Amino acid sequence: MTENLKLVALAVFSPFISLLLIAIFTRGSKKLSAFIAILAILVSMVITIVLYARNFDGVKQQEVYYFQWLLTDYFSLRFGFIFDSLSLGMMFIVCFVSLLVHIYSIGYMHGDKGLARFYAWLSLFSWAMLVFVVSPTLLQAFFGWELVGAASFLLIGFWFHKPEAAAAAKKAFVMTRFGDFGFFVGLLILLVSFGNIDFMTLNQLGKNLGVNPSFITATSLLIFMGIMGKSAQFPLHAWLPDAMEGPTPVSALIHAATMVAAGIYLIARAYGFFSASPFTMEFIAVVGMLTSLIAATIALVQNDVKKVMAYSTISQLGLMISVLGGGGYKAGVFHLFTHAFFKALLFLCAGSLIHHFNTNDMWEMAEKGGVRKMKITLTTLIIGSLALAGVFPFAGFFSKDAIIVAFEQNGKELFAYAVMIVSFLTAYYTFRMIFVLLSPEPESHGEHEEGHDEHHGHDSPANMTIPLIMLAVFAVFVGFIDTPWLGGYFDKFLLGKEEIEHLHWGVMIKSTVVVLLGIGFAYYQFGGKTGRREGFAEKVGWIKAMLVNKYYVDDFYFLVVRGLVIPFATVLNWIDRKVINDTGINGSGNLVLYSGRFLSFLMNGLLQRYLGTSIAILLFIVFLWQLI
Amino acid sequence: MAFPILSFILIVPTITVLLILFCKPEQKTAIRVISLIGTGITLLLALMVFIQYDRTKYGIQFMEFIPWVPKWGINYILGVDGLSVPLVLLNAIAIFTGVMVSWHIEDRVKEFYGFLIFLATGVFGVFMTQDLFFFALFYEVAVLPMYLLIAIWGSGKNREYAAFKLTLVLFFGSAFVMGGILYLYKAAGLNTFNLMELKRLAQYPRTVQSILFLLFFIGFGSIVPSFPLHTWSPEGHACAPSAVSMLHAGVLMKLGGYGLLRIAIPLLPEGLRDWALVMMGLSMCNIVYGAFTAIAQDDMKFMVGFSSVSHMGMVLFGISTMTLTGLNGAAFQMFAHGLVTALYFSSIGGMYNKTHTRMISELGGIANIMPRAAFFFALAGMAGLGLPGFAPFVAELLVFIAGVKKYTIFGIIAVISVVVTAFYILRCVQRTYFGRTNPKWEGLTDITNFDVIPLVILVIALFIFGMYPSLVLDLLQSETKNLAAKLGTL
Amino acid sequence: MASSLFSYLLLSLFLVCLGLVGVLIRRNLVIMLICIELILNGVTLNLLAINKFVTGGAAVGQVIAIFIIALAAAETTIALALIFLTFRHYKEIDSEKLNELKG
Amino acid sequence: MNILPEILCFLLSVVFLFCSISKTKFENLYRLALIFSFLNFILVLLTINAKGLYFYDSYKVDLFSQSVKLLLTLGLFLVTYMTDVRSDEHIKKMYPEFLFFLFTSNLGMMMLSSATELITLFLSLELSSYSMFVLAGFLKHKKISAEAAVKFTFIGAVASAITLYGYSFLFSYFTNTTLFAMRAVSTTLAVDGIVIVGMLFFLGAFMFKLAILPFSFWAPDVYQASDTSVTTYIATVSKVAGIAVMLRIFMFLFPVLINIEKVLLVVAVLTMTFGNLLAVQQKDLKRLLSYSSIAQAGYMLVGVVMMNETGASSTLFYVFSYLIMNFTVFLVADNLIKEQNNSSIYILKGLSQRAPLLSLALLLALLSLGGVPPFVGFTGKWMIFSAAISKGYLALVLLAFLNSVVSVYYYLLVARQAYLFPPDIKEPYNASTTLKIYSYFAIAFIIVFGFYPTPMLSWTEKAIAILISH
Amino acid sequence: MLNDVIFLIFWLVIAVFAVLAVFLQKPIYNAFAMAFSIFSIAGMYVFLGYEFLAALQVLVYVGAISVAIIFVIMLSPPVTVSPKKINPYKIFIGIVTSLALFILIFVLYYGKFLSEKINLNQPSQGVKEIGNLLAMPYAVPFEIISVILLVAIMGAIVLAKKEE
């Protein structure tokens, strides 16, 4: 085990230890629990920084360590740690966002009676996510994959007394679990065929080992099914908007930056495997783009700030997946990195707003007024929005350009145009939100609110704003690492590529124009006005109906569950009760009873019946003897 | 002669039962404490066995051999091997926690603990004996107290019906087991019930193996429970008091799988080969059908009962693959499922003691007033739906691997149950524990610290064996390897 | 004819079967008893005929026949006493009336 | 000297006969009977190892016969014990006569267990039967008693007529009447149809005695209508004697009987099925027990029909345990029947709260009868069935085990009355000390020999080993 | 030949009276028919050379048993069986089983004894041998039968005794 891997192991298990400590010792004390959890993730963060410092130019040689978990006849099931640029980068994101969310939550969750539990679950999540990130084998990836799902369930359902939260938690878990069915089957097939396969071998399957391409297509599609669930791709995306019922820091951490990105990470990790099947790649690209468009359109009509962000997350995830499917490995990973920062930022800002206004609805926030007074929140929110929309020089700009470039380079112009549309829509709905929030305060309400609620007009506490600022810094600057101005650092780090890619000015200009159009259009419709208004998408009735109803996907699921699964279960239950139990089991019991009753005709109390039966049986026995 | 630790595992509970018999019915606390001490000592002994078992040699250890009825080839043989050590431990955990869980019972305490511990003694006997006569002797010991325990201390208006059904179906099965054992004895022609001898020397012709395996399959299948004979199980669970449900699902149902692994497969490998497809088909019914049926249940214990049906189907499925991995999975599933269901039932029982209903539709928001009970149920649910990190995941993984390898399509169908399980467990968690609290339940208090102890023990066990399954799996594997070798799939 | 074993056996068989018919279908307990006597006579006849045929009339068969006759006497005594008792309770001796115990 | 128990038994019955003339008080007589029946038991115990062949090979005293006599006298003692002051007035009024019939019946059975000559054997059987006919009709004030006695007698008469008819056929094959001579014949001569039919018919009276299927219909009515002590006697002691004589016949005449082995096994299965199926719906405790004892006889017949030493010794083992189990049930039932003047199973309601010890003894005895491990009934059945299976009768054994599943059901129906329901009578039932002692003994017996059958089994094996020796 | 004719007459008398004993409707007639039939059976015994048994038969059956039966019949009032519908099932069973028994045994006889002859000229063993047997090898049964008769007498007393 190399030095690096030892550090990785330490980083992974630090949150786990925190989980155990909180569960066993400090669950009674909120402060202590929070302290332990933050300390643990801080340790991980520090280790990650140390690792990063030691491998500033990327990890040249992938380092892997295995230990045996189980041994059966086919193979040994091994767990272990992997250390390379990809995992280091992801670890950095996970630890960084997680740390900030931990800190942010002190303020956000202030006074919640389940704080210790909250931190325990956060630790659980961090641990599970890190396990996933450093997994060298598909099995361990699945292990972590499921655990983050469970952590997500627990955190979405953190306020379980809210029925919506409870329902959302269940929905999230079941839906991702449905995807995981595919993942699990794919994993099982791979396990059975190749033993406990690690990613290195997996990536070589198509090339060196000469495996049947259709086999790879089938398994990769199955695994992609899991990714669709976890990364909320159409049609398994429906859980993610609902998951916003959880505490906002959780949304920021899990449902924006890390867990939902796990699918993208997995594709990146097993890129060789996926790319060995052209059909899968095509499929991934199409599904991703479709998701992206669908989510972006739905986001147009959302009024809940978190929902807007949730759909934008789905949309961005779709982009990443699509570009990975389209062959843009670097672009996908890069967007994953940048997106993690600005989306986490956006969510935390939203959290700050929600914390402040006690509502999720952007119109209500606007009505209550005082957004402008929350200087830091507002600033960072706008920075995040710009980054999301992809305005130069914010992070999103570079990564989105990379995506378009990747599509163009791979000869998928259609996708490139689709990205343009998405980025127009993104810019539009993001700034729709900003402009609504910035809308002038209605005078009548302002007076009333002022007297009613004193703390209006102040920003959130420092433990909430500092994470915002830190993330904002990243959201502004992190995009530059892929530019020639920083020597193509990201390429070097991730791919070890030495030559510097030049800038694609054409694409940059095109996309900037599109984004500015989107922002402008948003301003045209929402800027500087008071009161509720309708955007362009809401003007047409049937489109609005479709979008408000989220393309009826939820209704479809409702129909499937209520109309198919539960009736099916009821019918089975009926069969079980009536046919198997009452007829089969009770029936055979009754058979005994009734045959006893039937036989009692022999015992009807008449002497001659007794005698006659006796003789008859005796003679029957004699005949029986002659038969035998 | 060394310290006869296995005999003491039988003797200590027996003495406990006797002591309880001589207590006055009014001395409830004394009875409880005696039970706790007795089962505690048993647990310690079982742990000692678990720890002292020599993992470098494997095979049957701690053997005690006393000729019993020499003319009939009956010997008092106790000995544990890799297969039985974990199950002995499981049983010890289940009875110890069961005693703690039933602390609240006030009605006829003396008889309750007497029967409960008597039952556990029988199960210990089954797991430890290496003689078929004693196997048969202990096999049914476990069933009968169950009848009284369910019928007297159970809940629900058709508890008697459930108790009868359970008893009769299990006896129905055991009739086949007894017949099978006797025929094993006869067909071997060695004039011995010594299982080790039979394993070593007995040769059964193919047709005999086939017939006998069918007998054992029906017999042990009824207690596993296999598909058409499963209906006793959910009802039995639902009507039994918590501790009994724990023992019932946690241990009693394992007797079937254990019997198959201990007797039927090593002696009748050809028989398994003949019947594997049938077994697979029935286990498929168990797994998928059980899981779907669980969705439709309103009574939580019924739901868990059907989930048991589904999960015990995995045991059969694993066995039907006839591979080392499958057998490992089956054996491990027995162990893991025992812990999970014990956890389920003890947490449900904790809640039920307060609410006196288990109907999902009547409950709601219980987590607000009983966070601990809710937490442990959710944890059990998580473990039950195969979350990595808990023991059942390992078992299911192994079974599925073997299943997919052997019967690709059916293996995949079995995996569907994973989704369905998640659905009904979480649906139950959502509707029972989450959400707004029904005002009817306001003012109820959470389970006490004392109640939590057994739950914590179970959770720790689940977690340890989930994270580090080799602790048990290596033991199981030492035996399943032999089975696989007999089946010719090693 | 008198020296044919079969004619004795046939008679005894006839008596047995006839007695059986009577026992099975006559309701009067006394007549049933009479029929049982007929059966016993048939049996004795059978035994003695076979005795004569196999052993040429050895004393063993005769002794057994004596025992059978004595037994029949004892049996009749008890049965008659019971019939008497029945009559006292039921005021009739119809076997079909004796059906309080059943099931 | 070796037939002293029989002589004592006979003398006692004569003494009781004379007592019927004098006006002896019931209590004195009861004490006398107890003492003497116990003395009888002791005498048998003293002569347990006696050996001898008397009266021209017609009477054999050996370990087997003495063991059986031990059971018989033990049973007699217990039945006598049951006829205490709480007995029916009618029995008390005619107690000397009652004892006379009891003791003559017992005498018949004791001779039955020793007889090695067919006439002796048959007449002993008839002796015991006739006494029981009278005993069955002893409750003269009850209509049903008369009814039962009539049925008993007529079926008995027909059964013995059938037996004699069968024997008259056998006479063409065996002209000698001692079992030793018959065995010698049967091992040399081939059998033909008439011998086999004769043999089947010949078994009629024994089937009647044991209440095995063709002649089992009397049992429920007689059990139900008779006094409980008589019922107990018929259900236990008489069955022991029946099995003993069956064992002897089967062990001696197996060359003939081997031909009808399968048929008799069918009979055994039919018998147990009949008994069990009909027992399920009974509400009267005595009637239920009668069906159960029919079924039990079926199990025993399996062991008898095996006609080898393992089968025979396990049957003897089972009979012994059956005696104790059934006595336990009947003793408990008798006490409650006397208390509540009723014999439905509801009299057991709440017994576990009224008398925990009796209730436990009852439970264990019932379960043991049902063949539930780890009780002695299970072990006995196991032995019998393993003897059966060693001849390859797998289907038979399965059917028998399935039958015992049904039997567990109705035994539980009885036991649940004691355990599940609250008592109708609230005050606890004060069992006499002797009954308590007996209960402890029974519980210990049922459990200990269930686990460790070796001592008793080796004893029965020894007894069987000398069964056919000359 | 004459022998055969007499034999046939006896045969028929026995059979006919037996039928009458079974099927006559007044118990008293049945009893007399039985007595006559049994009396004739004694004649059969004479044919077979069992003179002692014939005597015994007449003494015990006709002299004791029949008398007892007739006595009981006479003691009870004339109508002792209530007129009732005939139970066809019972009659069916009765006739079928008897017929089956008849056929069964007949077939067995047919196979074995059909053409066997009895040597009627050879005298059967007499009273002396019977006495020897009863005194020595069959002493025990003899004792038992005495107890049986005792039991029967006592039983009759106990059962028939009127309650005070």
D163-192 confidence digits (pLDDT tens): 999 998 888 888 888 888 888 888 888 888
Distance CA A244, CA A223 (A): 26
Mean pLDDT score of chain A: 83
- Give the rounded percent of residues in chain A with a pLDDT score beyond 70: 95
Whole-number percent of chain B with pLDDT over 90:
2
Name the percent of chain D in helix, strand, coil, to the closest 5.
80, 0, 20
Could you read off the pLDDT of A470-522 as tens digits, one per residue?
888 888 888 888 777 777 778 777 777 777 777 778 888 888 888 888 888 88
Best of C16, C52, C94 to mutate (most E CBs within 10 Å, chain E)? C52
Q: pLDDT tens, B25-63? A: 888 888 888 889 999 999 999 998 888 888 888 888 888
Q: Please, are residues D465 and D309 in contact by the beta-carbon 8 Å criterion?
A: yes
pLDDT attached to residue E81: 63
Predicted confidence band of residue A453 (pLDDT cuts 50, 70, 90): very low
For residue E114, the surrounding DSSP H or E stretch is none
A484 vs A500, A501, B35, E105, E148, CA distance in Å?
Answer: 6, 7, 76, 118, 127
Q: How far is E122 from chain C (nearest CA, A)?
A: 7
Tell me how close the Cα of D96 comes to any Cα of chain E, in angstroms: 11
Contact C85 D221 (CB under 8 A): no
The residue among C45, C75, C80, C93 with the most chain D CBs within 10 A of its CB, best to mutate, is C75
Q: What pLDDT sits at residue A358?
A: 81
Strand partners, B65: B77
Please give the pLDDT value at position D420.
85
Chain A: nearest CA to C18, how far in angstroms?
A: 14
Q: What is the pLDDT of residues B427-457, one digit of tens each?
A: 888 888 887 887 877 778 777 888 888 888 8
Task: Give the number of other Cβ atoms within 10 Å of residue A279's Cβ.
Answer: 14
What CA–CA distance (Å, rounded) separates A537 from A551?
14
What angle in degrees, to the nearest 10, is found between the helix axes of E27-48 and E67-75? 180
Q: What pLDDT, on the 0 to 100 scale, is given for residue A450?
A: 43
Searching chain A, which residue's CA lies closest to the CA of residue D257?
A625
Say which DSSP state E64 is in.
I
Q: Chains E/B: 3 or more C-beta pairs closer than 8 A?
A: no
Closest among D212, D225, D205, D97 to D160, alpha carbons compared: D205
Q: Looking up tokens 């409980």, which residue turns up?
A: D228
pLDDT tens by residue, B457-479: 888 888 888 888 888 888 888 88
Centre a 10 Å sphere on the Cβ of residue B370 and count the other Cβ atoms it contains: 24
Partner-chain residue, chosen from D374, D378, D394, that has the shortest CB–CB distance to B179: D394
Beta carbons within 10 angstroms of residue A420's beta carbon = 18
* Mean pLDDT, rounded, of chain B: 86
Q: What is the Cα Rg of chain A in Å? A: 30
Residue A580 has pLDDT above 50, yes or no: yes
- Amino acid E164: pLDDT: 59
Q: Are strands D59-61 and D52-54 parallel, antiparallel or unpaired?
A: antiparallel
Q: Is the pLDDT of residue D229 over 50?
A: yes
Please state, in angstroms and rounded to a whole number, the distance separating the CA atoms of residues D438 and C94. 44
Contact D150, C84 (CB under 8 A): no
Nearest CB neighbour to D398, from listed B168, B176, B185? B176
Mean pLDDT score, D367-381: 89
Which residues in chain E have their CB less than 8 angstroms from residue A613's CB?
93
Cα A292 vs. chain centroid, distance in angstroms?
15
Going by the DSSP 8-state scheme, the letter that residue D28 receives in this structure is H
Please give the Cα distance from A229 to A219 (Å, whole number): 16
Residue A451: the pLDDT is 42
Class of residue A73 by CB neighbours under 10 A (exposed 0-12, middle 13-18, buried 19+):
middle
Q: What percent of chain A has pLDDT over 90?
A: 0
Going by pLDDT thresholds of 50, 70 and 90, the confidence category of residue A448 is very low
For residues D420 and B160, give the distance between their C-alpha atoms in angstroms, rounded to a whole number. 9
The predicted structure's pLDDT at residue E19 = 92
Q: Which residue, D224, D212, D226, is CA-closest to D155? A: D212
Pick the closest to residue A488 from A500, A479, A480 (CA basis): A500
The pLDDT-based confidence of D291 (bands split at 50, 70, 90) is: very high
H or E, element range at A69: strand A63-71
Check whether A430 has a pLDDT greater than 50.
yes
Is B102 part of the contact surface with chain A (CB cutoff 8 Å)? no
Identify the weakest region by mean pLDDT among A56-70, A95-109, B246-260: A56-70
- Which pLDDT band holds residue E16 (cuts at 50, 70, 90)? very high
CB-CB neighbors (< 8 A) of D461 in chain B: 71
| Chain B, window 117-156: residues with a beta carbon less than 8 angstroms from a chain D beta carbon | 122, 133, 136-141, 144, 147-148, 151-152
**Which residue in B has a C-alpha nearest to residue D454's C-alpha?**
B69
Closest residue on chain C to E33 (Cα): C34
What CA–CA distances, in Å, run from A47 to A41, A63, A91, A253, B78?
Answer: 10, 16, 10, 20, 54
Q: If you average pLDDT over residues A312-332, what whole number do you get?
A: 86
Query: Distance between CA atoms of A609 and A607, rounded to whole angstroms?
Result: 5
- For chain A, helix (H) and strand (E) counts, in that order, are 29, 2
- Asked if D382 has any chain B CB less than 8 Å from its own CB, the reply is yes
- Residue B1's pLDDT band (boundaries 50, 70, 90)? low
Task: Give CA torsion, residues C47, C52, C53, C58, to 10 deg.
Answer: 100
Which residue reads 């004193």 in tokens?
A454
| Partner-chain contact E93 A613, CB within 8 Å | yes
Overall average pLDDT of the D405-420 stretch: 88
Render B394-407 in DSSP notation, one character per residue: HHHHHHHHHHHHHS
Show which subunits contact B, needing at least 3 CB pairs below 8 angstroms: A, D
Q: Which of B71, B136, B164 faces D461 most closely, judged by CB atoms?
A: B71
Per-residue pLDDT, A73: 66
**For residue D22, is pLDDT > 90?**
no
Average pLDDT over residues B104-126: 86
CA–CA distance, B276 with B410 (Å, rounded to integer): 13
Q: Which two tokens stand for residue E83?
A: 């007129």
Rounded percentage of chain D residues whose pLDDT exceeds 90: 34
Q: Which residue has the tokens 């809210």?
A: A162
Asked if C98 lies within 8 A of A600 by C-beta distance, the reply is no
Q: Which residue in E40, D391, D262 sits closest to A624, CA to CA? A: D262
Q: What is the pLDDT of residues A352-380, one digit of tens each?
A: 888 888 888 888 777 777 777 777 888 88
Bridge partners, residue C28, by sequence = C94
What is the pLDDT averaged over residues E109-135? 81
Q: How many C-beta neighbours within 10 Å does residue D164 have? A: 27
Position E83 scores a pLDDT of 66
Question: How many helices (H) and strands (E) would you count in chain D?
Answer: 23, 2
**pLDDT of A445 above 60:** no
- Helices and strands of chain E, counted as H and E runs: 7, 0
| Average pLDDT across chain D, whole number | 89
Band (pLDDT 50/70/90 cuts) for residue A458 is low
Nearest to B329 by CA among B405, B261, B382, B398: B398
> Dihedral (C-alpha) D142, D144, D149, D154: value to the nearest 10 degrees?
150
The kind and range of the H/E element at B30 are: helix B28-52
Q: Residue B60: CA atoms inside 13 Å, Cβ hemisphere, count?
A: 18
pLDDT surpasses 80 at D147: yes
Minimum mean pLDDT range among A58-62, A269-273, B315-319, B456-460: A58-62
The segments of chain C whose pLDDT lies below 50 read: none
Q: What is the pLDDT of residue D126?
A: 92
Confidence of residue A442 (pLDDT cuts 50, 70, 90): low
Residue E147: predicted pLDDT: 92
Cα–Cα distance measured from residue D406 to residue D400, given in angstroms and rounded to the nearest whole number? 10
The residues, ordered by sequence, that sit 6+ positions from E101 with a Cβ below 8 Å of its Cβ are: A615, A619, C16, C17, C20
Q: Map tokens 């390898």 to a residue.
A: B405
- Residue D93, classed as helix, strand or coil, is helix
Determine the average pLDDT of the residues in A550-579. 85
Query: Among A185, A191, A281, which Cα is nearest to A226's?
Result: A185
| Res. B489: pLDDT tops 80 | no
Three-state DSSP string of A134-190: CCCEHHHHHHHHHHHHHHHHHHHHHHCCCHHHHHHHHHHHHHHHHHHHHHHHHHHHH
What pLDDT does residue B204 have? 87
**pLDDT for res A81:** 87
φ, ψ of residue E117 in degrees (nearest 5): -110, 145
Cis peptide bond upstream of A235, omega within 30? yes
The answer to whether D123 contacts E141, with C-beta atoms less than 8 Å apart, is: yes
Token pair of D469, please?
A: 């020796």
Residues recorded for chain B: 490
- pLDDT, mean of residues B144-169: 85
Whether the predicted pLDDT of E84 surpasses 70: no
pLDDT at A452: 44
Cα separation of A310 and A241, whole Å?
5
Position D240 scores a pLDDT of 92
Q: Is the pLDDT of residue A454 over 50?
A: no
Closest residue on chain D to B189 (Cα): D390
Judged on CB neighbours under 10 Å (0-12, 13-18, 19+), A112 is middle
